[in-house]
Amino acid sequence: MSQEILYTSAPEGLKAGSRGFCTVVSTAGMAKNLAERLESLSGYRHAFETHDPRSKYNPVNYQHLIASVGGRKLHVLSRICDAGFDYTKRSNKLAHHVAIEPAEALVATGGPAWVMTSPGFFQTAWDGETRILPEGRPLRAEACPTRVCSRWKRLSAKAGDAGDEGWAGVLAENARTRGGKPISVIYPVGAEPLPLVVEALSLLPQEQRWQVTFSTYFTKLPAGLECQWRFIFDGSSEADVLRRNPHAQLIDLCKPLGAAPDGELVLAARRGIAPLTAPPKAQAPAPAGAVSQDTSDSPPEAAPDAGELTLAPPERVGRASRGGLPADDVLRSRMESAAKKRNSPLVFVMGGGAMLLFVAVFGLAAYLVTSGGNNNRQTVATADPPMEPTGPHATDAAAHAAAEASAAADKKRAAREKAAMEKAASDKAKAVKAKAVKAKADKEAADKTKAAQEREQELAFPFSALKKDPYRLVIPEYKSGGSLEGNQDNERQVRLGLVFSESPRNVSMELLGADL
């Protein structure tokens, strides 16, 4: 059974302590990684602000994506829309996501868009109550019939252009033949793209419908996801970018398109008849792009024997038979007529003339080849280069080349930016280091200067103290031993010796001798 969440802005969410944009309704027993994955798909950009009168034209995003959660793939059907103002009087959104197992999706043969149109499948409003749902919701099981794609005709019609249902077939052909490569459809304001998706998917085989991913209001995708059919809102930045890109796969429903290019699904979209997956063995191969349809009530005509020569197409023989003549008589008469024509002299004359003409042309060509010599070789050497492929394959190649060139340019730009950032960081580190070295050197120089000053102060001898006690002098703060010489009264010279006491802060100095 499916699992689902409802995500919007609320003062209190289903999870304890959650508020603002959060899950308010969830299926019971949902795994945490699945819930977080579904919440990440709830992005919505308001085309018009909530207070704008045009906000009623904000598009609804019906979305089918294939997400990998916990190593298993799930189909996620989503409806994301504008929800007016929230409890803080700011713009709000409402996202309803339904996760479906692949085995369950196979039961809904109509495809994802057909399931979305089922009445009551999506919740379009929230009543303000948080709750747990006991189980998921069932899927729409009835088949989606193939019908004339009238919505495409009506939406593609413009002044002087009646529109064409076949553009739905172009979209379906893209999914069937291009391996899921993205294609974009720009639609006007006020249009509803979901019916367009339903009509286009109905042209595909039932087993292929669930492989097509789409978004009816495409802006951007989370990482790791793909979207094949991207419906773009006219006036958005995405629409402007696509219209400027000559290599984009684009169907612009806002401009006259004319008739869609022929194709099997294009014809099916116009007629409302599902194409045959494989033609019957007894049926002659139909021309490319055509869908056979037998509306006659008569039984099928018998095919001629293997060895019988048929001079007319089977359908012409059939018309002769219905006119009242037996088919065998018609064939026999035509064979006899052809034999008579072959035996007539005119046939021999014409055949001989044709042979002579062939010989003359062949001889002239041989002469030109042999007489051309070096000129022919030069012509061959300078022949025009082979024409480049055109059409969808050329567009794909050009788009691929443009994408590769853009990726290479982005890579180079990123490398330059990284190198610039690394150089700036290196320069900053060097400046910081130089500043630190300079500060250290300045500090060492200041310390040396201070130490020298302190040393000078310590070595300064207070000679004036000798006048009070010529035989004993106490010098405070003296730290090292040695001898000092000084003058007493400037008349006689005395020699002093230092004697250290036990106190580290006092040094005793005694008179050892004097020279008179």
Give residue 170's pLDDT. 95
Sign, Cα dihedral of 265, 152, 260, 200:
negative
- CA angle 455/457/463 to nearest 5° reads 125
Regions of the chain where pLDDT drops below 70: 179, 276-349, 351, 362, 365-399, 458-516
What is the b/e burial string over 465-486, where b = at least 16 CB atoms within 10 angstroms of the residue's CB? ebeeeeeebebeebeeeeebee
**CB-CB neighbours of 401 under 10 Å:** 11
Closest CA to 304 of 327, 338, 279: 327
Between the CA atoms of 124, 58, 13 and 28, what dihedral angle is there, to the nearest 10 degrees?
Answer: 40
Give residue 285's pLDDT. 40
Dig out the tokens for 208 from the structure. Answer: 């292929």
What's the Cα-to-Cα distance from 485 to each of 148, 454, 495, 510, 513, rounded to whole Å?
Answer: 126, 20, 6, 12, 11
pLDDT in tens, 371-395: 554 444 443 334 444 444 454 445 5
Query: DSSP letters of 177-202?
Result: HSTT--EEEEE-TT---HHHHHHHHT
Give residue 378's pLDDT. 42
Distance CA 420, CA 400 (A): 30
Give residue 482's pLDDT. 45
Closest CA to 80 of 6, 157, 172: 6
Give residue 461's pLDDT. 52
Contacts of residue 14, defined as CB under 8 A and 6 or more positions apart, other chains included, come to 22, 23, 24, 25, 26, 130, 131, 132
Give residue 289's pLDDT. 37
pLDDT in tens, 241-251: 999 999 999 99
Give residue 7's pLDDT. 97
Q: How, if at all, do strands 506-515 and 472-476 pair? A: antiparallel
Q: How, if at all, do strands 492-500 and 483-488 pair? A: antiparallel
67, β-bridge pairs = 74
Give residue 158's pLDDT. 86
Q: Output Rg (C-alpha) for the chain, integer angstroms.
A: 48
Give residue 162's pLDDT. 87
pLDDT in tens, 103-154: 999 889 999 999 999 999 999 999 999 999 999 898 988 889 888 999 999 9
Dig out the tokens for 44 from the structure. Answer: 């919505």
Give residue 126's pLDDT. 94
